[in-house]
Amino acid sequence: METENATLVTQFVLTGLTHLPQWKVPLFLLFLVIYLITVVGNLGLIVLIWNDPGLHIPMYLFLGSLAFVDTWLSSTITPKMLLTFIAKSKLISLSECMTQFFSFVMCATMECFLLAAMAYDRYAAICKPLLYPVIMTNRLCICLLVLTFVTGILHASIHEGMLFRLTFCNSNIIHHFYCDVMPLLKISCIDPSLNYLIVFIFSGSIQVITISTILGSYTIVLCTVLKKKSARGMKKAFSTCGAHLLSVSLYYGSLLFMYLLPASQKVQEEDMMDSVFYTVIIPVMNPIIYSLRNKQIKDSLEKFIKRKV
């Protein structure tokens, strides 16, 4: 009877990052600048790769795809977050919430598999240099990208379908700055235990598979480089892999903390800070990390600027 008499929710309220009025304008300006840098940096990287034939190789094909996913992810989360700082109404409709959630899960999944594909590409380039053109063909790259996109859609569809089995009533307040699965499960009128299990199984499996691929690839790379005992080879290998390892460490560190650490060990503010890191900060850092540590990117950017000037 309680469920039947409850008012079903068709709109949610996003609480946002802060309730303090004095922080809203500074945070709005900060995240607006970050978002603009994210869009310009990632789209600029895509244009640079597209216009330079010398960068039309698997490594930069994956990097361009990563930049596209980062732009998509940031554009899914940040505009709505900016509105929560300045708009009087913080409402988000059920359909808009589910669309945002679907897009977020798809992008996060695609990023995991892209990072794994980039690690495998570095393994093939450093450990199998003579066979690299045979191993990493354009056909294989396209297949990996299609598989990444399809996996992202399937993973998002599973969690989206599981959310539609739930009923949201009475409370419509989401203690977050976007529609994520954990805050939504907390306000469900139906027991969300099955949803928690699905999140743990699928998200955990994807992270374990992709992390294992990355760690395995770089372990073999490290062993290969150390066996050669060439200072020049080591320097080249570490300069090539350093940016990717840094990006992987930042991304997976925050994801593991968010989804695999038991909820009882975390508080709401920690969840939101962690979410800010991998939805807003990492997308703006990736183009900076890869551009500053990659000589080919810097050379291509210099040539591009000279042509335009």
95 assigned to some structural domain = yes
Task: Tell which wins on pLDDT, 21 or 158.
Answer: 158
Beta carbons of 162 and 194 less than 8 angstroms apart: yes
pLDDT in tens, 69-88: 999 999 999 999 999 888 87
6 assigned to some structural domain = no
Best-predicted range by mean pLDDT (220-224, 242-246, 293-297)? 220-224
2 assigned to some structural domain = no
Q: Is the pLDDT of residue 268 over 80?
A: no
- Identify the CATH number of the domain in which residue 53 sits: 1.20.1070.10
Q: Give exposure, 181-218, as e/b (b: 16+ Cβ within 10 Å).
A: bbbbbebbbeebeebeebbeebbeebbeebbebbeebb
3 assigned to some structural domain = no
Residue 114 has a pLDDT of 94
Cα-only R_g, the chain: 21
282 assigned to some structural domain = yes
Which of 30, 8, 4 shows the shortest CA–CA distance to 17?
Answer: 30
Task: Tell which wins on pLDDT, 7 or 198.
Answer: 198
1 assigned to some structural domain = no
Q: What percent of the chain has pLDDT over 70?
A: 85
Q: Give exposure, 135-174, as e/b (b: 16+ Cβ within 10 Å).
A: bbeeebbeebbeebbebbeebbeebbebbeebebbeebeb
* Class of residue 235 by CB neighbours under 10 A (exposed 0-12, middle 13-18, buried 19+): exposed
Tell me the residue range of the domain where 44 lies.
11-308
Beta carbons of 125 and 136 less than 8 angstroms apart: yes
Report, as an integer, the average pLDDT of 14-32.
87
Best-predicted range by mean pLDDT (240-249, 273-282, 286-295)? 273-282
Q: What percent of the chain has pLDDT over 90?
A: 35
Beta carbons of 12 and 91 less than 8 angstroms apart: yes
Sign of the alpha-carbon torsion through 54, 292, 82, 176: positive
Q: Which two tokens stand for residue 104?
A: 């977020």
Q: Please tell me the pTM assigned to this model.
A: 0.87
Q: Is the pLDDT of residue 239 over 70?
A: no
Long-range contacts of 295-303 (CB under 8 A, 24+ apart): 295/239, 296/54, 296/55, 296/60, 297/45, 297/48, 297/55, 300/48, 300/49, 300/52, 300/54, 300/55, 301/48, 303/52
Report, as an integer, the average pLDDT of 21-26.
87
Number of domains, the chain: 1
Q: Give CA–CA dist 92/156, Å, rounded.
A: 20
Residue 229 has a pLDDT of 61
Q: Which of 46-55, 187-196, 236-245, 254-263 has the lowest mean pLDDT?
A: 254-263
4 assigned to some structural domain = no
Best-predicted range by mean pLDDT (106-120, 125-139, 227-241)? 106-120
Task: Tell which wins on pLDDT, 32 or 245.
Answer: 32
5 assigned to some structural domain = no
